[in-house]
């Protein structure tokens, strides 16, 4: 009988994770299946209990359940606890363990883009202070770059993330300071939703952007935001959110199966669906 996995979210109809994961399972001849489950908030606890009842190997968790799911799990990894959100559950012999692979998945994408590891030379600016930013900040700080700076419209939310997920030496900037100091960062990341809609303002002005800066937008629909297009015109090396989606999925795949998936295949499927 196939080992079962899936996605708990609300809504989930738009998700490409089933195609991405099922293709990766099939390619390796693994007897695993991935389904999506549209779970309204009031049914979340029941859905989590069903994972045990039906011997699921695990599942992914997405909006709006990433934080709400935590009290229903038996154990939470240190990473997920610090991030304050779970995106991957593993059923470890009847014990449901919550992990977060979003931040580590993001870092893998950046390291592929740069063709090297994040190192103590790197200066990184993160724009935004929502859930995605928390996971990304935690994972970046863990790589010990020279500095992570976080800037957000609501500065108090950036300060909270700095306190919870960054190091003492990292900094909180106003958006204006971030714009003025842009040339001092080698890696600039948009984690806000600014760019999802055609008429959104830019998440940050790129007036002071240096050529050769790595500029990453975690949005993948649209495939290339106006902000990324502008960054490219200014000589930046750009990437969208596909890599984060693929690598967070690849890390979850490994937790369930113990194997490394074919990341190129997963990426092809995502690009075909959203690109
Ligand atoms: P997610 O969990 O997906 O990261 P979120 O929690 O909704 O998303 O966070 C959205 C981010 O986009 C926040 O940083 C938010 O800024 P605030 O904390 O000030 O709300 C940012 N954002 C949303 N709309 C914005 C706007 N019009 N201008 C600037 N930032 C905006």
pLDDT digits (tens, 9 = 90+) for 50-87: 999 999 999 999 999 999 999 999 999 999 999 999 99
Ligand 1 atom closest to residue 133's alpha carbon, by position in its atom list:
4
Q: Answer yes or no: is pLDDT of 1 > 90.
A: no
Query: Would the CATH topology of 3-100+243-274 be identical to that of 103-240?
Result: yes
Give the ipTM: 0.95
CATH topology of domain 3-100+243-274: Rossmann fold (3.40.50)
Q: Say if residue 7 is preceded by a cis peptide, omega within 30 of 0.
A: no
Task: Look at the pTM and tell me if it is higher than 0.90.
Answer: yes
d(CA 169, ligand 1 centre) in Å:
24
* Per-residue model confidence as pLDDT tens digits over 160-172: 999 999 999 999 9
* Per-residue model confidence as pLDDT tens digits over 86-139: 999 999 999 999 999 999 999 999 999 999 999 999 999 999 999 999 999 999
263 contact partners, CB below 8 Å, separation of at least 6:
246, 247, 250
pLDDT recorded at residue 80? 97
Q: Is residue 57 flagged as an active site residue?
A: no
User: Which two structure tokens, joined as six digits, stand for 106?
Assistant: 């993001």
Nearest Cα residue to atom 9 of ligand 1: 130
Helix axes 131-142, 102-114, angle to 10 degrees: 60
Burial (0-12, 13-18, 19+ Cβ within 10 Å), 35:
middle
Q: Which of 36, 57, 66, 255 is catalytic?
A: 66
Q: Give the Cα separation of 147 and 152 in Å (integer).
A: 17
Residues with CB under 6 A from ligand 1: 128-133, 152-154, 157, 191-194
Q: Answer yes or no: is pLDDT of 275 > 80.
A: no
Nearest Cα residue to atom 16 of ligand 1: 153
**Considering only the top CATH level, what class is 103-240?**
alpha beta
User: Which two structure tokens, joined as six digits, stand for 150?
Assistant: 């976080």
User: What pLDDT band is residue 47 in, cutting at 50, 70 and 90?
Assistant: very high
Average pLDDT over residues 140-168: 98
Q: Answer yes or no: is pLDDT of 228 > 80.
A: yes
CB 10 within 8 A of CB 41: yes
d(CA 244, ligand 1 centre) in Å:
18
Domains of the chain: which residue ranges? 3-100+243-274, 103-240
Pocket probe mutation, ligand 1, options 128, 205, 227, max atoms within 8 Å of Cβ: 128
**In whole numbers, what is the pLDDT of the chain averaged over residues?**
97
């Amino acid at each position: 009988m196939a080992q079962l996995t899936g996605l708990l979210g609300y809504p989930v109809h738009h998700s490409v994770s089933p195609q991405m994961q099922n293709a990766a399972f099939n390619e390796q001849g693994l007897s695993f299946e991935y389904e999506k489950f549209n779970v309204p908030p009031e049914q979340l606890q029941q859905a989590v209990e069903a994972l045990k009842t039906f011997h699921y190997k695990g599942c992914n968790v997405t909006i709006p359940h990433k934080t709400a799911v935590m009290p229903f799990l038996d154990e939470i990894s240190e990473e997920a606890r610090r991030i304050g959100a779970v995106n991957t559950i593993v059923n470890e012999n009847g014990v449901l363990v919550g992990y977060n692979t979003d931040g580590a998945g993001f870092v893998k994408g950046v390291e592929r883009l740069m063709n090297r590891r994040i190192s103590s030379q790197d200066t990184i600016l993160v724009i935004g202070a929502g859930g995605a930013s928390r996971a990304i900040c935690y994972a970046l700080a863990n790589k010990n770059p020279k500095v992570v700076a976080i800037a957000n419209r609501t500065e108090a939310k950036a300060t909270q993330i700095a306190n919870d997920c960054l190091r003492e030496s990292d900094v909180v900037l106003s958006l204006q300071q971030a714009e003025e100091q842009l040339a001092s960062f080698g890696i600039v990341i948009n984690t806000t939703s600014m760019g999802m809609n055609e008429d959104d303002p830019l998440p940050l002005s790129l007036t002071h952007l240096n050529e050769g800066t790595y500029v990453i937008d975690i949005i993948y629909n649209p495939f290339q935001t106006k902000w990324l297009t502008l960054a490219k015109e200014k000589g930046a090396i750009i990437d969208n959110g596909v890599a984060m989606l693929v690598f967070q999925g690849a890390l979850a795949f490994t937790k369930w199966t113990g194997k490394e998936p074919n990341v190129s295949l997963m990426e092809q499927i995502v690009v075909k669906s959203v690109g």
